Structure 1
Amino acid sequence: MEEEVDAAGGDPERMPFIDAFVQETLRLHHPLWLLMRRAVRPTTLGGVDITAGSEVIYSPAAVHRNGKIFTEPLRFNPDRWLGDAATEEMQRAFSLGNRLCIGDHFAWTQMKITLAAIVADRRLTLPARCRPRTVVSSIVHLDRLPMTVHLRNR
């Protein structure tokens, strides 16, 4: 990340690894643990017949950890999103279709710029033996993430 940020000169379009890092972070730590959709027509999902008008609840966390979609699903691996590595099925696991947030592109750009700004001059490390845990509430978040900030030596 540091090399990419240094070479990109602040241009988020020239930071594919930063983009992949954010994508992989959201894959493993999606903020919404349950989503609901209404079937607009009869369909079959996972071998279950669903009638039009039925409410379907699903978990992005479960989809994003599906070994049939993601190789080594519990391993943090940003490289799975680089170049042509991401399969159509992986990309569909993140697709919300017409439910995509109107601010999606802005949010992605903001996350990349923020991460790049941190990486440009700082290095974050976890204290020894720190094991962050995911906490489920109305949104999914870590219980704590104590980080030590160090100036980068360039």
Structure 2
Amino acid sequence: MQELAKSRMCRFLIVGSSAALLLLVLSYALVSLGMSPFTGSVLAYAVAFCCAYTAQRGWTFGGDHDHARALPRYFVLQAGCAAFSGLVSHLAVTRLGMAPLPMAAATTITASAASYVVSSAWVFPTTGRKGQDAALYRLLKRPF
């Protein structure tokens, strides 16, 4: 288990899953309490953003990337994902008639997938990484 926790990809997934769960719970709670789907999801995303960046920067990537470059990129990515999550939740409720829980799940899944792809490629790119993480990244990038 300790070897698994040493993998950046594993840590990224743990932090991302935790942030996604936080987003799910907060989105559901805020919308259930009467907040509009857009506002509730964007507010939930802001809270999850703070927690996720702190954990990704400090635990997952441990200073491998320049903070002055990574934070603004992470912010741009997450601002886009926040707006995207607001749009997804709004459409899920107004067009698809979803209740708060399925709406929150759909929002969480779509925003999390977008965040993972762009974070890996742009915010915390693998350029310059050494060892196991670079080998794993190359393996995952191979076409099947």
Query: TM-score scaled by structure 1?
Result: 0.27
Higher relative contact order (CA 8 A, sep 6+): 2
Q: Which has the higher helix share?
A: 2
Larger radius of gyration: 1
